[in-house]
Copies of this chain bind each other. A is one copy, B any other.
Amino acid sequence: MFWDRFDGVRDNLMVTPLEKARRDPNSMKARILDSARKLFGENGYSGTTTRMIAKAVGIDISTLYYHWGEKADLYDAVLMATQEGLKQQLKNIEKVIHGKPLPERLEIAINMSCDYLSQNPEITNLILLNYFTNSQNGDIPNFNFIDIISDIAISMGLAMDKDKITKQAKARVMAVMLSLFNFIAGKKFLSPIIGAGSEEYLSVVKETLNFILIPAFIQGKNETL
């Protein structure tokens, strides 16, 4: 019986399903999570069925439900994993730009972010789709934006204390993020409109972001927020 097994703490007792999946990237849990992330990113929550995910992994839906339970729970885990990856990437950028003057900091940050996000396009899709559909639909789990916004605000020198960030500063960071995310997430839609090929698109985006953001934040540097 299970209560006979007192030989120490069973290590997955206090471990979240997401963490369990991350420990072994080849586990069924992790494979499902990967496919789910891709598909949710492509089609959104209601546009993605559990059968689509199961088929992508090559398993039966009941196996999926065995590992992750409800569809909403799986989606929640996908958002968590995405969020973690993004935060990790922000830390990497922070390391590189630390100490440098603001214009250079911005340029490097834009450059690195563009590269990272365009190499993992499902991230921006996932976040933006979530925040659109979720702004109206309360029963879908939602992405935690505020942490990331705060981190960036501090990194960009718009605030000192994580708890004392002005509305204006948050809004400015948000504008930056939204532009960037939209350009990446909407690549397939926007690149034909702009009339640029895949490689050219990324450089046009970088140039545009630099064009728009750098003068604003240089000018506003000494402004009181």
Contacts and interface: CB of A to CB of B under 8 A. Distances in A.
Q: How many copies of the chain does the oligomer comprise?
A: 2
A4 B142 CA distance: 61
B216 A186 contact: no
A126 to B, nearest CB: 10
Nearest to A185: B132
Given A132-B129, A135-B189, A136-B188, A194 B219 contact: no
Contact of A44 (B46, B175, B188, B190): B46
A131 interface: yes
Contact of A194 (B42, B135, B170, B216): B170
B182 A170 contact: no
Contact of A208 (B42, B137, B168, B187): B168
A167 B179 contact: no
Contact of A186 (B44, B131, B179, B220): B131
A212 interface: yes
Contacts of A99: none
Interface string A162-206: 000001101110110011001101111110011110001000110
Contact of A204 (B171, B194, B208, B213): B171
A91 to B, nearest CB: 21
A116 interface: no
A58 interface: no
A207 to B, nearest CB: 7
Highest count of chain B CB atoms <10 Å: which of A145, A189, A204, A209: A189
A8 interface: no
Nearest to A178: B182
Interface string A128-165: 11011111110000100110010000000000000000
B145 A167 contact: no
A5 B177 CA distance: 61
A149 B211 contact: no
A209 B175 CA distance: 8
14 contacts: A42-B137, A44-B132, A47-B137, A125-B132, A129-B132, A146-B193, A167-B200, A168-B207, A168-B211, A174-B208, A175-B183, A178-B182, A212-B213, A215-B215
